[in-house]
Structure 1
């Protein structure tokens, strides 16, 4: 594994553990909420890579970068919606639904992150 994989993983792990533990009690519900929110962090990390690609791109690729940026912003809105829906399902005791939509969110965001890393 290269730095292009290890560094983003370290950054995401750091964000996860800081959100989970700083000025909060670490318990099972807070851990679950942090896990449900993690795809949002993954997508924003991916979006930052798209921004870096766009900034560094030469003029023909700049248009592609802006197209990806727009689609990643739209994806961020969808990801936040799914995350919020997963939280409501968890609070309502719908564990299977929470797991299903969260796994969908993770798969979607992981795919976006892999694509963003491939671009830079």
Structure 2
């Protein structure tokens, strides 16, 4: 245990401050001196680019899957016959418009309305 010369109860000057993190700066400096400064930029690009590509693929899957699923489900409900007979082409095209034109703004309300109508007619979500 190291005692402070100023007496008990007096904190050293560095108490309460966050330590500086110089490791990343030193690494960037060393890479820059060695001519490898672009390596750090490349790794950041690859990491963030990978996340962007992943989110893009998920968005593409939703953009293709939602209208297709709505069409297939509406076709199955129409074929089963009942009090509600949705037009599969109309619902499928509505989903395509909701996904592409409004950039997913109308997709959720359209899906909720469809599920509500489906629930009222069939009794399942």
Band the TM-score falls in, shorter-chain normalisation? 0.3 to 0.5
Q: Please give the TM-score of this superposition, normalised by the length of structure 2.
A: 0.41
Q: Output the TM-score relative to the length of structure 1.
A: 0.42
